[in-house]
Amino acid sequence: GENVEQHPSTLSVQEGDSAVIKCTYSDSASNYFPWYKQELGKRPQLIIDIRSNVGEKKDQRIAVTLNKTAKHFSLHITETQPEDSAVYFCAASKRTGGGNKLTFGTGTQLKVEL
Amino acid sequence: DAGVIQSPRHEVTEMGQEVTLRCKPISGHDYLFWYRQTMMRGLELLIYFNNNVPIDDSGMPEDRFSAKMPNASFSTLKIQPSEPRDSAVYFCASSFGTGHGYTFGSGTRLTVV
């Protein structure tokens, strides 16, 4: 089955700096890659996603890049703010006969320091 | 839309007791997922349904766990008998079609003592 690895497990940045979180996946058939943000005690929430026919996608301060050849994708957060502090999860899935199963990475604890 | 609704939010039970977790997906979503989250193992997929039919239950830890989806608007996850190692946050999520992100419920924090 699919295996998703995520690095780093913790990341500390100064407010205003950029943060980058990287993930690799094992199944070359995977074609959908969402990112979730989970604040302490809350539910994971989808913040951005990318499909395999696109190399990059941006939404304000957040961007995701995908390298299908290398089977890795990354989340970039620019101009970080204290409210960006949370755990971020990457995930991957593919269209199969059964559907829509997401395999999640192990998460990155991002701390934005004042 | 009220989103994915889970109940209860917190459950404390004694070892050996039966526990039932409930989920109402977003109306119109045809996929429903049950995940378990722990510090040690992260987010683990337990089982998922498509159009109320179980598709993949390979993540269900053992026979003590069972899940049902009797109709498009309701699902249950049952643990019987419960054990302390079942303590975790259990999330239900739903989605529409394939290649789309999930919407998670608020989760049920289960503590088995």
Task: Select from A36, A49, A98 the Cβ nearest to the Cβ of B55.
Answer: A98
Q: What is the pLDDT of residue A96?
A: 63
Mutate to test the interface with A, among B98, B108, B109 (most CBs of A within 10 A): B98
Query: Is pLDDT of B1 > 80?
Result: no
Alpha carbons A61 and B106: distance in angstroms, whole number: 26
Give the model's confidence band at A98: pLDDT under 50 very low, under 70 low, under 90 confident, else very high: very low
> Are residues A56 and A63 in contact, defined by beta-carbon separation less than 8 angstroms?
yes
Instruction: Write out the two tokens for B84.
Output: 């302390």
Contact between A99 and B31 using a beta-carbon 8 Å cutoff: yes
Q: What's the whole-number average pLDDT of chain B?
A: 94
Strands (E), A8-106: 10-14, 19-25, 32-38, 45-51, 56-59, 62-67, 72-77, 86-92, 103-104
For residue A99, the model assigns a pLDDT of 62
Shortest distance, CA B11 to any CA of chain A (angstroms): 15
Distances (CA, A) of A58 to A23, A49, A55: 17, 10, 11
The string of pLDDT tens digits covering residues B76-96 is 999 999 999 999 999 999 998
Mean pLDDT, chain A, rounded, equals: 93
* Model pLDDT for residues A32-89, shown as the tens digit of each residue: 999 999 999 999 999 999 988 888 999 999 999 999 999 999 999 999 999 999 999 9
Q: Which residue has the tokens 């049952």?
A: B78
User: How much is the pLDDT for B2?
Assistant: 79
